[in-house]
Amino acid sequence: MARTASLSGFPEWLPEERLVEQHVLDTLRRTFELHGFSSIETRAVETVGQLLRKGEIDKEVYGLSRLQDDEGDEGKAKHDPHALALHFDLTVPFARYVVENAGYLAFPFRRYQIQKVWRGERPQEGRAREFTQADIDVVGDGELPFRYDVEIALVIAEALGALPIPDFRLRINNRKLAEGFYRGIGLDDTAGVLRSIDKLEKIGPDKVAELLKTELGATDDQAQAALKLAGIRTEDTSFVAQVRSLGVSNELLEEGLDELEQVIEAAVKRAPGKVVADLSIARGLDYYTGTVVETVLVGHEQLGSICSGGRYDALASKGNRKFPGVGLSIGVTRLVSRILSHNLAKASRSVPTAVLVALNADDTWGEAQDVATQLRGRGIATEVAAKAEKFGKQIKFADRRGIPFVWFTDDDGKHQVKDIRSGVQVDADPATWTPSDEDLYVQVTGVSPE
Amino acid sequence: MARTASLSGFPEWLPEERLVEQHVLDTLRRTFELHGFSSIETRAVETVGQLLRKGEIDKEVYGLSRLQDDEGDEGKAKHDPHALALHFDLTVPFARYVVENAGYLAFPFRRYQIQKVWRGERPQEGRAREFTQADIDVVGDGELPFRYDVEIALVIAEALGALPIPDFRLRINNRKLAEGFYRGIGLDDTAGVLRSIDKLEKIGPDKVAELLKTELGATDDQAQAALKLAGIRTEDTSFVAQVRSLGVSNELLEEGLDELEQVIEAAVKRAPGKVVADLSIARGLDYYTGTVVETVLVGHEQLGSICSGGRYDALASKGNRKFPGVGLSIGVTRLVSRILSHNLAKASRSVPTAVLVALNADDTWGEAQDVATQLRGRGIATEVAAKAEKFGKQIKFADRRGIPFVWFTDDDGKHQVKDIRSGVQVDADPATWTPSDEDLYVQVTGVSPE
């Protein structure tokens, strides 16, 4: 990110930066597929009615209109639920896809989805208008065992752990736990309480207490109890005892405590140090009904959550048929922006090419292509010079492009290959020569912070 | 494509169909990288001014406007060159990217770009409103040797040849050849002639002759000469003699003949049977200045071109600095739609998962995850059952999802794995067992036409 995007909020990478992004995407894909998640993509475009059907959302949506449409359906976008708009996340489109294709899917259906989404928000560090998300979800038909909440958290911890990023923490809470607790202390507008608690990191506990009292009519005791709950944060299941010590009893609260305990218990064992129970996590509006997750990069907390999501039991339905789901979404662009701006990882070279086949005369291009074909047959990325310039110039060309090896064939058909980093040049047979494993493909590796 | 898209022109694939698309995309990526092309992506969004700067285009563009924008910038989209719109191809955005980042790129710059594009056209078979293109281009700084025109055609022939699709033909022409010829016979509105010739397949030679006479004031002899040129089609370089026999002499014509001869000569040797010189290829409006290419699937000609492009010498410039380029674009969605609707290829299974680890009691989920972790460590995609249902039910679940193997661990810790296709069940060690190469990953293979 040496450069500034020419359109604010729409980042683009240079080729060597894109190699880092590709490494991130390939690593995520590989981890998700190893856990049996199928790839799908949904169209970038949804109807406005579909995007807004859960009522008010806090995402800025981009509407579409055909420039050459003389009927002027531009005005339509704001009012007509059939007008088209770009999706702002991958969960809402996925829920629509599941309902539409339910007859063709085997449930519980596990999928990953890696695509761009768009939000017309004010751009800032970590917040773009066009960005890539990588989601995994499991959706059931009618019911979905809670175990999948545990599994999704573990898969994401494994996926993030395989990336060249700093240490991270999944901060996990449960809406049933919070809602049950609020009800238990007599606060029935649980959505209102969650909205206030969600502001805790931004405005602090005093102002949240004020909000709870003025806007929701909470007493001082109720406000303090809600804040005490939100203050609980443990790396093991000791949050259960801490909540119980607050002396509130409610059935939904018990259900939530049990669910969150299951997640944390498994995580302590299977992803030690990566997961905390954090009872301040609320996740704003949105469609979550149980487990909720946000994720911070340790030392980069101000970047915001790099992976969020949770359990949604009512997002997708078809008549009486319900499709409860649980999923998490990784903010790929946010992560890659941070990797690049802080030099957290680097590609071993800037192009896929391992070998440039030099020309010693313009009419040897065909023979040079024959050499290249043999090398490519063994998976060695190879390009051929376009002109028979002086060898020094051809070597310089390779150097400028970041290609490590240059191949020479003399007039007698003798082959040599030069490692232009060391200057070492050796005889080589196009039918057998292979570079070291490190040089065969581009390697992307994490760089330790200085 | 058993199903109809819920939004006309916006196709979506089922998971097993997506596996075919992924195979196509992975194969293209691998071929492009083997030839040293770097991946880049550009933002989906360009300014209207950027998209339309080459003047009139025949593509229908989707403009963007923020639904929640109270200032009503919706009306802006039609008139303001700074308004935002979705790109309709990858060449125009790439040219903009090259100019913006020229200081950071090594020229000749080779890149591939695989992304979605949008056009608000009337949907029909082979023509969607949202679709994926896979482009390769080489762009020079100031000049670009003609040899890259040859190379690009060969790389595309190799890439298409690696896909599970029917035989194909690159139909190649050269604008210099055509324009020089028209000038040589006294028709100076060469763009007008090209536009008429472009309609040859749709309306036939008689109507094209009529157009040339009425719209461009051509004489009967001129019209017939233009049609004779367009009628030339050879699998080798004999088109040169055929053009010469028409007795027209013009410097630009000679240049075009020489260029096209170079492409065809190399193709006859390096991609035999895949390339023809076809002097009817015009490519409508667009920015091409030399080589032009369209590609048909043999037996599926009515599908339209599955890969098009050519040389553009004047698309990108920065002051006096010019960035001539040559590139081709594969219509991935058009190809994948055809593969799926005609059953030309199939995935060996419908999910990435190779093994389902069954549960014999609900509290053995942790041990089952341990088995799964060992298998995944060797690259075997594995999922774990969520509930300890009867084994028959768990096997049925695997069968329904298309998972070939089920893993059992009994109370004594004895492991067995069952191939549910053959029913064969054998003892197995989670530390060493591996399925056959065919079963390890999903295989996508072409299906011979019946």
Residue in A15, A105, A148 nearest the CB of B38: A15
- Chain B residues closer than 8 Å to A118 by CB: 44-45
Compute the distance between CA of residue A65 and CA of residue A45 in angstroms, rounded to an integer.
12
- Chain A residues closer than 8 Å to B401 by CB: 106
Selected from 1.20.140.10, 3.30.930.10, 3.40.1410.10, 3.40.50.300, the CATH number assigned to the domain covering A15-43+91-345 reads: 3.30.930.10
Interface of A with B in 237-256 (CB under 8 A): none
Backbone angles phi and psi of A321, in degrees to 5 = -80, 125
Compute the distance between CA of residue A128 and CA of residue A118 in angstroms, rounded to an integer.
8
Provide the pLDDT for residue B285.
Answer: 62
Provide the pLDDT for residue A74.
Answer: 47
Interface contact B38, partner A, CB < 8 A: yes
Interface contact B147, partner A, CB < 8 A: yes
Q: Is the dihedral of CA A33, A37, A40, A46 positive or negative?
A: negative
Interface of A with B in 260-319 (CB under 8 A): 266, 269-270
Provide the pLDDT for residue B127.
Answer: 87
| Å between B108 CA and nearest CA of chain A | 9
Backbone angles phi and psi of A276, in degrees to 5 = -130, 145
Q: CA torsion, points B179, B183, B185, B188, in degrees to nearest 10?
A: 110
CATH 2.60.120.10 given to domain B15-346: no
CB distance B175 to B259 below 8 Å: no
Interface of A with B in 338-377 (CB under 8 A): 350-353, 365-366, 369, 376
Instruction: Determine whether the interchain pair B15/A111 forms a contact, defined as Cβ–Cβ distance below 8 Å.
Output: yes
Residue in B44, B63, B106 nearest the CB of A400: B106
CB distance B404 to B412 below 8 Å: no
Interface contact B101, partner A, CB < 8 A: yes
Compute the distance between CA of residue A414 and CA of residue A405 in angstroms, rounded to an integer.
17
Residue in A34, A96, A151 nearest the CB of B376: A34
Give the CATH class of A355-446. alpha beta
Q: Where in chain A is the domain with CATH 3.30.930.10?
A: 15-43+91-345
DSSP one-letter string for A192-208: HHHHHHTTHHHHHHHHH
| Å between B111 CA and nearest CA of chain A | 8
Residue in A101, A382, A401 nearest the CB of B106: A401
| Å between A441 CA and nearest CA of chain B | 10
Interface contact B165, partner A, CB < 8 A: no
Instruction: Determine whether the interchain pair A34/B400 forms a contact, defined as Cβ–Cβ distance below 8 Å.
Output: no
CB distance A38 to A112 below 8 Å: yes
- Which residue from A32, A57, A97, A73 is spatially nearest to A325, judged by alpha carbons? A97
Q: What is the ipTM of this complex?
A: 0.95
Residue with tokens 């719209």: B215
Residue in B35, B77, B369 nearest the CB of A270: B369
Provide the pLDDT for residue A381.
Answer: 98
Residue in A10, A35, A77 nearest the CB of B74: A77
Chain B, nearest residue to A60 by Cα: B68
DSSP one-letter string for B395-418: HHHHHHHT--EEEEE-TT--EEEE
Under-70 pLDDT residues of chain A: 1-3, 54-58, 69-79, 284-286, 449-450
CB distance A372 to B31 below 8 Å: no
Interface contact B140, partner A, CB < 8 A: no
Instruction: Determine whether the interchain pair A384/B97 forms a contact, defined as Cβ–Cβ distance below 8 Å.
Output: no
Instruction: Determine whether the interchain pair A12/B352 forms a contact, defined as Cβ–Cβ distance below 8 Å.
Output: no
Compute the distance between CA of residue A268 and CA of residue A237 in angstroms, rounded to an integer.
9
Instruction: Determine whether the interchain pair B352/A38 forms a contact, defined as Cβ–Cβ distance below 8 Å.
Output: yes
Instruction: Determine whether the interchain pair A120/B66 forms a contact, defined as Cβ–Cβ distance below 8 Å.
Output: yes
Interface contact A391, partner B, CB < 8 A: no
Interface contact A162, partner B, CB < 8 A: no
Q: Where in chain B is the domain with CATH 3.40.50.800?
A: 355-446
Residue type at A110 in one-letter notation? R
Interface contact A203, partner B, CB < 8 A: no
Backbone angles phi and psi of B328, in degrees to 5 = -135, 150
DSSP one-letter string for A235-286: SSTTHHHHHHTTT---HHHHHHHHHHHHHHHHHHHHSTTSEEEETT---SSS
Partner residues linked to A415 by β-bridges: A409
- Chain A residues closer than 8 Å to B384 by CB: 151
Question: In this predicted model, what pLDDT tens digit does every residue of B211-233 receive, in sequence order?
Answer: 999 999 999 999 999 999 999 99
- For testing contact with chain A, the best of B7, B19, B31, B38 (most A CBs within 10 A): B38
Long-range CB pairs of B396-401, under 8 A, 24+ apart, other chains included: B397/B356, B398/B356, B400/A106, B401/A106, B401/B350, B401/B351, B401/B353, B401/B356
- Chain A residues closer than 8 Å to B86 by CB: 64
pLDDT digit of tens for each residue in chain B (450 aa)? 446 778 999 999 999 999 999 999 999 999 999 999 999 999 999 999 888 876 556 678 999 998 876 555 444 545 688 899 999 999 999 999 999 999 999 999 999 999 999 998 888 877 899 999 999 999 999 999 999 999 999 999 999 999 999 999 999 999 999 999 999 999 999 999 999 999 998 999 999 999 999 999 999 999 999 999 999 999 999 999 999 999 999 999 999 999 999 999 999 999 999 999 999 998 866 689 999 999 999 999 999 999 999 999 988 888 899 999 999 999 999 999 999 999 999 999 999 999 999 999 999 999 999 999 999 999 999 999 999 999 999 999 999 999 999 999 999 999 999 999 999 999 999 999 999 999 999 999 988 765
Instruction: Determine whether the interchain pair A40/B12 forms a contact, defined as Cβ–Cβ distance below 8 Å.
Output: yes
| Å between B12 CA and nearest CA of chain A | 6
Q: Where in chain B is the domain with CATH 3.30.930.10?
A: 15-346
Chain A, nearest residue to B62 by Cα: A66
- Chain A residues closer than 8 Å to B85 by CB: 67
- Chain B residues closer than 8 Å to A41 by CB: 12-13, 18
Instruction: Determine whether the interchain pair B60/A68 forms a contact, defined as Cβ–Cβ distance below 8 Å.
Output: yes
Instruction: Determine whether the interchain pair A40/B18 forms a contact, defined as Cβ–Cβ distance below 8 Å.
Output: yes
Interface contact A97, partner B, CB < 8 A: yes
Provide the pLDDT for residue B69.
Answer: 67
Interface contact A122, partner B, CB < 8 A: no
| Å between A171 CA and nearest CA of chain B | 22
Instruction: Determine whether the interchain pair B19/A39 forms a contact, defined as Cβ–Cβ distance below 8 Å.
Output: yes
